[in-house]
Structure 1
Amino acid sequence: MTDKARPDFDAYAGDLFGEIMLADTAPAQAERKPLSRYIPGFAICAIASAAAAWLSQNYGVPIILAGLLLGLALSFSAGDPRTHEGLDATSRHGLRIGIVLLGLQVTLMQIGAMGAVPFLGLALVMSAAIIAALLAARATGQSGSVGLLAGGATAICGASAALALYGVIGRERIEQAQFTLTLVILAAASAIALTTYPALTQALGFSEAQAGFLVGASIHDVAQAIGAGFAVSDMAGAQATVVKLTRVALLAPLVTLAALWIARTQPIAATGKTTRVPMLPGFILAFLTLVGVNSLIDLPPEAATNALIASKTLLLLAVTATAMRTRTDLLLELGWRSLMPVLAATIASLGVALGFAHWAL
């Protein structure tokens, strides 16, 4: 079904991230609108996010997965136009600020401390994830943009990377329903990995260094990768933290390369022309700036802790708002083929991480 056959598609689905760059250059409006127009959408998103946090704290449900599912359950609320501006602003600004604050979790010293051999293995794992997702997308008749989104999100840090990549790919190339489904599968895969990968490392007789590398290099979500490492031992948790944060630091170059690739190879179908995409989005530049500041200045431990809490809160709000603005009927129409890029990337990253940890560490 095309957008022309659904005249209400754009009004309902909204443009959450496809125009994220254009928002920075939009001319100021002559008449200032009241801020109260954001309240309905933000309020319902905040309530759903608080419920997701409660479920995560009391029942152990992964918080991003809980936010996605509650957002989808409340997607009917986006039928009211009064919620649109609040949901869209929460999605856009929550995404940007949340990713920027992740920069306070990484230092250049941490990346250097990992060593050349583990870094090479990490590069192989990430490359395998992206290549597998691109091949799976082609094999199932989907666009390269879908494969790039799935592979890049799997290679870096799950939902956070998916949000950043979708900001440069845009809804013109990937429908909102496909993007939301990708987030759901990423969250589910991370939850399964958290419970199974530590037991797998013990069954294979891995050392603490091998176990830490495996979970840090192959689990999507930051908190679950680190948690899986500490489920093995404190030393494995420390190794997993360094490996996973190195993946987070590589978000900036990946988004930059993705933007360049999209601009040159993925023209918009409606016009046949290549859309100009900035090589380095502003929020990624801010992320790199905070990485530099965190590397050069000895900030108080509370700064990193509070920044992480704020980042997770904002990204939860952004994910929940994204789910609310998704048409569930379109989500159900996608079919099994839409699952394959994320599944292929997950299997490939686990396989390469296992092989490298076994043979090279």
Structure 2
Amino acid sequence: MTDPTLAAPRLKGLLHRADTLWPGLLVCALAALAAQFLSDHYGAPAMLMALLMGLSLHFLVEDGERCAPGIGLAARTVLRLGVALLGARISFEVFAQLGLQVVGLIVAALLATMAFGWLAARLLGRGWRLAILTAGSVSICGASAAMAIAAVLPRNDLSERNLSFTVFGVTLLSTVAMVVYPILSNLLGLTDLQSGIFLGGTIHDVAQVVGAGFSVSESVGETATTVKLIRVSLLAPFVLVLTVALRRAGVEDTTADKRPPALPAFVLAFLVLAFVNSLGWLPAVAQATLWALSKWAMLTAIAAVGMKTDLKRILSVPPQSVVLIFLETAFIAAIVLAGVLFLA
């Protein structure tokens, strides 16, 4: 039996911890709820709205210790939870549906965009952290990838600013692409299959891929969504390889009390959920529930990231950073489009 003399202080500590965290968590959750409301009723990107609301509430971190601990937890732990639950959406059947050529094209586009981002960042005088963050976000799954990559990158005094800028940039460019790319695919005379691969392989965020694909036709929408899920499934392997590479280079995050694990827990959870779902062991109701929880966790986390970021620092982002993320977006569009035309 548990010793009551030990249980009481432990319970008291947990209650104190909860009392410290709940105001900040509540504020972040309300910001996420408001962002989703704006998205549902006015068509605004939910991620972008959550970030902007967070930026407007930065004073809660600056001026008040009451909300700061909960906001910090949301930006860190809730973020990792949201990324982990993304695995429930992944099934390795999507690889078989489109064949090795299309999967090869998506992987090649990822690798090429990472290399291009690294080179472009050097030429523009930007740091390697920003290069990995922006190129990874552009080539995998937009804001979700940005937050997952930022979770394992070594931190510095520009980390919060760079993450907020990247989320803002990829979400804005993804929204523009949602409108422009279907028109472009129509002008180029792409078939439904080609259009689906192009839209799913180039647009950053899942919601915008769905919007762009189904605005053309149902078959294009289904293909685009499948291709996008292949890109999302590359998130965990990419973060794992990045973590190992940072450790071998001796530049992993040293701000924590202990050395980070070679396989982060949220990446392991992502892979386990994807494996379970691929085996058909995850009921449709559970899959939908976990996907919804992932979406809410990500919205809550991005609101928290916005709250931790000073808007003045976002506005002070050098123009070279804007050019970098734009060039990376244009590059992956060119690579995937060339691949689609070649495969045809």
TM-score w.r.t. structure 1 length?
0.86
Q: CA deviation at 1:339?
A: 1.8
Match of 1:95 in 2: 79
CA distance in 1 between counterparts of 2:126 and 2:178 reads: 29
Match of 1:170 in 2: 154
Q: In the alignment, residue 328 of structure 2 is paired with which amino acid?
A: A
Q: Does 1:46 align with 2:29?
A: yes
CA distance in 2 between counterparts of 1:270 and 1:289 reads: 27
Q: In the alignment, residue 333 of structure 1 is paired with which amino acid?
A: S
Q: Does 1:245 align with 2:229?
A: yes
CA distance in 2 between counterparts of 1:138 and 1:173 reads: 20
Instruction: Tell whether the 8 Å contact from 1:257 to 1:279 is kept in structure 2 after alignment.
Output: no
1:1-361 to 2 correspondences below 5 Å: 31-32=13-14, 33-79=16-62, 80-172=64-156, 174-265=158-249, 267=251, 277-361=260-344
Q: In the alignment, residue 242 of structure 2 is paired with which amino acid?
A: A
Match of 1:8 in 2: none
Cα separation, partners in 2 of 1:245 and 1:68, compared to 1, 3 Å = same
Q: CA deviation at 1:212?
A: 0.4
CA distance in 2 between counterparts of 1:140 and 1:270 reads: 27
Cα separation, partners in 2 of 1:83 and 1:229, compared to 1, 3 Å = same
Aligned CA RMSD, in angstroms, stands at 2.2
**Secondary structure of 1:195 counterpart:** helix
Structure 1, unmatched stretches of 5+, are 1-27
Cα separation, partners in 2 of 1:301 and 1:143, compared to 1, 3 Å = same
Q: In the alignment, residue 274 of structure 2 is paired with which amino acid?
A: V
Cα separation, partners in 2 of 1:43 and 1:277, compared to 1, 3 Å = closer
Tell me the alpha carbon deviations over residues 33-80 of structure 1, each in whole angstroms, 9 at most, x when there is no partner. 331111221122122222211111111100001111111111122121
CA distance in 2 between counterparts of 1:268 and 1:302 reads: 38
Match of 1:12 in 2: none
Instruction: Tell whether the 8 Å contact from 2:75 to 2:302 is kept in structure 1 after alignment.
Output: yes
Cα separation, partners in 2 of 1:259 and 1:353, compared to 1, 3 Å = same
CA distance in 2 between counterparts of 1:30 and 1:309 reads: 33
Q: CA deviation at 1:169?
A: 0.3
Cα separation, partners in 2 of 1:266 and 1:188, compared to 1, 3 Å = farther
Q: CA deviation at 1:266?
A: 6.2
Tell me the alpha carbon deviations over residues 304-340 of structure 1, each in whole angstroms, 9 at most, x when there is no partner. 2222221111100000100001112222222212223
Instruction: Tell whether the 8 Å contact from 1:260 to 1:277 is kept in structure 2 after alignment.
Output: no
CA distance in 2 between counterparts of 1:67 and 1:336 reads: 24
Cα separation, partners in 2 of 1:29 and 1:279, compared to 1, 3 Å = farther
Q: In the alignment, residue 177 of structure 2 is paired with which amino acid?
A: A
Q: In the alignment, residue 310 of structure 1 is paired with which amino acid?
A: L
Instruction: Tell whether the 8 Å contact from 2:154 to 2:253 is kept in structure 1 after alignment.
Output: no
**Secondary structure of 1:228 counterpart:** helix
CA distance in 1 between counterparts of 2:192 and 2:199 reads: 11
Q: CA deviation at 1:186?
A: 0.9
Q: CA deviation at 1:235?
A: 1.1
Q: In the alignment, residue 292 of structure 1 is paired with which amino acid?
A: F
Q: Report % sequence identity.
A: 34
**Secondary structure of 1:114 counterpart:** helix
Instruction: Tell whether the 8 Å contact from 1:173 to 1:268 is kept in structure 2 after alignment.
Output: no
CA distance in 2 between counterparts of 1:88 and 1:341 reads: 29
Q: In the alignment, residue 292 of structure 2 is paired with which amino acid?
A: I
- Runs of 4+ in structure 1 off by over 4 angstroms are 28-32, 268-271
Q: Compare the two structures and name the one with the higher helix fraction.
A: 2
Q: Which moved more, 1:95-104 or 1:206-215?
A: 95-104
Instruction: Tell whether the 8 Å contact from 1:133 to 1:151 is kept in structure 2 after alignment.
Output: yes
Tell me the alpha carbon deviations over residues 110-131 of structure 1, each in whole angstroms, 9 at most, x when there is no partner. 2222201111111122122212
